[in-house]
Amino acid sequence: MSNISRRTVLGTGSAFFGLSLAGWPTGAFAADPLQVFGHKTHETMSISGAGGDTTAPWTAETGTPIAWTTFDIGPLQERLLRELSLNQTTLDIGYVLNTQMTQQLAGLFEPLDDYQEKDPIENFEDIFPGFVEGMRVGGKLLSIPSRGPVPGLHYNEEILAKRGFSKGPETIEELAEIAKACTYTEDGVSVVGYAIPLNYVSLVQMARAWNGDLITPDFKSVVQEPPMVKTVAMLADLYAAGALPRNVTSMTSEDPLTWMQTGRAAMYPGGFNRAVVFNDPEKSQFPGKIKNMPMPTSEETRAELGPYAPGTVEIWGMIIPKNGLRKDLAWSFIKHMSSNKMQLDMQFNGNATVRRSVYENEDIRKALSYADAAKAALDSARVALPAFDNATRVADLFNEQVHLAVLGQKTAEQAMADADAAIQPLLPA
């Protein structure tokens, strides 16, 4: 990969809302750094790694340094809300999750459609459409996607081969068959067939095999419909067969990662980026043998959806505070960081790109074994849960009922009926 070259973001003579870069007050750029609030990951992926400092060309062009202030996710959300609630803020850019894009908060974000129309981001249609839609509220684009990890299906090809399976599952039904067959080794050692975390993201990912959801984009509960009921019933059956972890309702997020590295789990649904650590010779007992693929569709939906289920994503994006003081400057930064070149370089820094063309880049395809699989999952991806004020509570209530069903304390039908009854009053009118 070539080194990052100095990049002209806005272009000589190009106008930004009728004002060229040369016409902007130099002091406004040089005097005060661009104030950016985000997670440490956003800073790291932007300024360090094989792709280099992707903010440097923008700083060179504008004379404006970047001042990063980073937080964990919870404190970041709290601090952003505090700044956005002021009469004015010196904050220029904030990173938000799609789950924050609620009607209640929408009025605090600057709408970006006019900016995109008058001074568009390069090749905007290259950004996966599900990412863009996840950042709209009431039809308005309020955030530009910047990072979008997508879960896939990881499987240990050595374990599968010893149980008679030469490749990963072609359907969700075959996934269940493989999970049941891979509960022990030839030496009789216990193995977890399917190390799935019982949370709403993993459940929605699996329900997408039938094109299912938990809550639709227009805020309708569909937990009682066949896709989710079939998902919960399948997991309950796998648990009864010993194919899920016995501590599935209490296992930590690190447990399945360790199990995949040590051969104690045959399959795991998680971020494609996990492929790196799963195949690291210094960390894994099965380097090169942990393969990945998008979640397969069902036998019932394969003809309609194709071989892979729509991806399930949570998205980070960049917003401009409505009460901000330097919105044009902020947009120029967003435009720069969203460009083809910067998204490519950030991918080399470890980002999860939002652009299709990055996954098609030959250097990326050589560097990332999962590039093609991730692109396939993202082509039809949509968010796991639309943003609304009670979304966290809805997810918790859903998870509670899933746990009861998987442990055999309720049928899948009854659990999803009870979940629906609890969820309905919490949905937007």
Q: How far is CA 45 from CA 70, 90, 318, in A?
A: 13, 24, 14
Average pLDDT, the chain: 91
Global pTM value: 0.82
Of the listed ranges 42-46, 272-276, 278-282, the one predicted with least confidence = 272-276
Q: What average pLDDT does the segment 94-102 reach?
A: 93
Residue-range domain boundaries for the chain:
15-149+314-383, 151-310+389-426
Of the listed ranges 80-94, 221-235, 373-387, the one predicted with least confidence = 373-387
Q: First vs last Cα of the chain: how many Å apart?
A: 51
Higher pLDDT, 337 or 389: 337
User: CB of 302 within 8 A of CB of 173?
Assistant: no
User: Residue 427 corresponds to which tokens in the numbers above?
Assistant: 């949905």
Domain 151-310+389-426 has CATH 3.40.190.10: yes
Domains 15-149+314-383 and 151-310+389-426 share a fold: yes
pLDDT value for 31? 55
| Residue 2, Cβ density class (10 Å: 0-12 exposed, 13-18 middle, ≥19 buried) | exposed
Instruction: Report the CATH number of the 15-149+314-383 domain.
Output: 3.40.190.10
User: CB of 201 within 8 A of CB of 383?
Assistant: no
pLDDT at 13 over 90: no
